Structure 1
Amino acid sequence: MSEPADPHQLADLPLNDLVACHECDLLMRKPVLKQDEKAHCPRCGYELYAHRHNVVQRSLALVLAALLLYVPANFLPIMQLHLLGQSSDDTVWSGVVGLYNTGMRGVAVVVFLCSMAIPLLKLLCQLAVLLSIRLNIGRSYGLLLYRIYHHLRDWGMLEVYFMGVLVAMVKLVDLAELSLGLGLACFISLLLVQVWLEVVMSPHQIWSALSGEDLHACD
């Protein structure tokens, strides 16, 4: 657990030696962590940052797994609907196209951006950032892409789309025969991999490695 810094000593400390809690804004001296240790705010208990091992290698594996899952998650059938002798396969992409063709073009654009375009852009940004650290090239571009990624985080809403799919299934199950498709398994896997990636890809270590403060921060 980090210790709050004496306010009279803060002016004498460089900014790199200070950290502020994101929850209660307590300013404190940045603790030096060993592998797998975590720093918590002494006032509110919020986790400030953690030092995880093999961050780049583990994150790269998860990013590549997410990219492999992206296409089947969006273009394979999530569910098959059987009604009055007719069957239809519903995918994420067909949902976007259906909204567009029925005149709800604004909604279609929002769904496309939040469920397909932005999640893919986030993964590509993460991949480029990790490769810049791994290969030790273009770290200035990596900093820019990591900033872009953080601005995009709140716009990738796979979990919201997934909840919408669950609600639709509950409402349709009494009206027609439903069968789950392989796309749903890929979509859930993609969502879980991205959540895991958020945990593994420690922001503090990534920022430190990109800025050159600690070239071994992600080891």
Structure 2
Amino acid sequence: MTDAAGSNQLADLPLEQLVGCHECDLLMRKPELAMGERASCPRCGYELFRHNNQVVKRSLALVVAALLLYVPACFFPIMQINVLGQSSLDTVWSGVLSLYEAGGVLQTIAVVVFLSSMVIPLFKLLIQFLVLLSIRLDIGRSYGLYLYRIYHHMREWGMLEVYLMGILVSMVKLIDIAKPSLGVGLFCFVALLLVQVWLEVTMEPHQIWEELAGGDAHANH
């Protein structure tokens, strides 16, 4: 009887006051959080969401930093390889071109690498920048909602970390037959990956959704 009464009470609440656990599917009333607090599921302990301080300002700074790192990460030399007195400089872009010029099935791989390591990460950053800018300047929030939906569908398609692992594996294999030396592009690439991870942690989705929806301002900006 108690569970039925609780369910009836939840059914009477508006949707914006409810939250569901992504792990155990428990539906509950959304808790009110102060800055720096986090909410956990009472049944399984899964973290539902947190309330970050100055989420828009901090996220904007990280997005701008990531965009500034993008060009050197993709077009500056990642490593220089010396074999029998001949040296070559390799970048992310030159790697894509080499795969494509090899022809055959490698052209398909080149397109996949190009999309996952260059196009989609840049597109995601631009979407995040526009979404945050719409909140910060209080303009075009309806477009921001549409863009943020697109962003959530693209989150799993950017694979910079996979490309980085491929670079590291290649360097280990080349040590015995060549003399690879690190380039500035590799450091920018690692920095870009770290900034994006930091951005994912900082840009709390529930605060961004609330700001875009034009409800009560929970994200301090």
TM-score (norm 1): 0.96
Distance 2:88 2:6 in 1: 66
Q: By how many angstroms is 1:61 displaced?
A: 0.5
The letter for the 2-side match of 1:123 is L
**For the Cα contact (< 8 Å) 1:78–1:183, is it kept in 2?**
yes
Q: By how many angstroms is 1:6 displaced?
A: 2.0
Q: 2:148 maps to what in 1?
A: 146
Distance 1:79 1:6 in 2: 61
Q: Which runs of 5+ in 2 are unaligned?
A: none
Does residue 1:107 correspond to 2:109, yes or no? Answer: yes
**For the Cα contact (< 8 Å) 2:74–2:118, is it kept in 1?**
yes
Q: 1:98 maps to what in 2?
A: 98
Q: 2:41 maps to what in 1?
A: 41
Q: By how many angstroms is 1:203 displaced?
A: 0.3
Distance 1:7 1:117 in 2: 46
Distance 2:215 2:195 in 1: 29
Distance 1:112 1:189 in 2: 19
**For the Cα contact (< 8 Å) 2:78–2:186, is it kept in 1?**
yes
Q: Which runs of 5+ in 1 are unaligned?
A: none
Q: 1:77 maps to what in 2?
A: 77
Distance 1:26 1:218 in 2: 28
**For the Cα contact (< 8 Å) 1:81–1:176, is it kept in 2?**
yes
For residues 157-186 of structure 1, give each alpha carbon's deviation from its aligned partner in whole angstroms, at most 9, with x where no partner exists. Answer: 000000111111111111111100000000
Distance 1:172 1:44 in 2: 47
List structure 1 runs of 4+ shifted beyond 6 angstroms: none
Does residue 1:163 correspond to 2:186, yes or no? Answer: no
**For the Cα contact (< 8 Å) 2:59–2:203, is it kept in 1?**
yes
Distance 1:99 1:161 in 2: 14
What pairs with 1:123-134 in structure 2 (closer than 5 Å)?
123-134=125-136
Does residue 1:173 correspond to 2:175, yes or no? Answer: yes
Distance 1:122 1:130 in 2: 12
Q: 1:204 maps to what in 2?
A: 206
Q: 1:11 maps to what in 2?
A: 11
Of 164, 185, 204, the match for 1:183 = 185
Distance 1:143 1:211 in 2: 7
Stretch deviating more after TM superposition (207-216 or 49-58)? 207-216
Q: By how many angstroms is 1:216 displaced?
A: 4.3
Distance 1:161 1:63 in 2: 20
**For the Cα contact (< 8 Å) 2:56–2:219, is it kept in 1?**
no
**For the Cα contact (< 8 Å) 2:69–2:191, is it kept in 1?**
yes
What pairs with 1:57-72 in structure 2 (closer than 5 Å)?
57-72=57-72
Q: By how many angstroms is 1:9 displaced?
A: 1.4
Distance 1:218 1:74 in 2: 34
Q: 1:23 maps to what in 2?
A: 23
TM-score (norm 2): 0.95
Pairs aligned (count): 215
Q: By how many angstroms is 1:8 displaced?
A: 2.8
Distance 1:141 1:26 in 2: 31
DSSP-derived class of the 2:7 partner: coil
The letter for the 2-side match of 1:187 is F
DSSP-derived class of the 1:154 partner: coil
The letter for the 2-side match of 1:108 is A
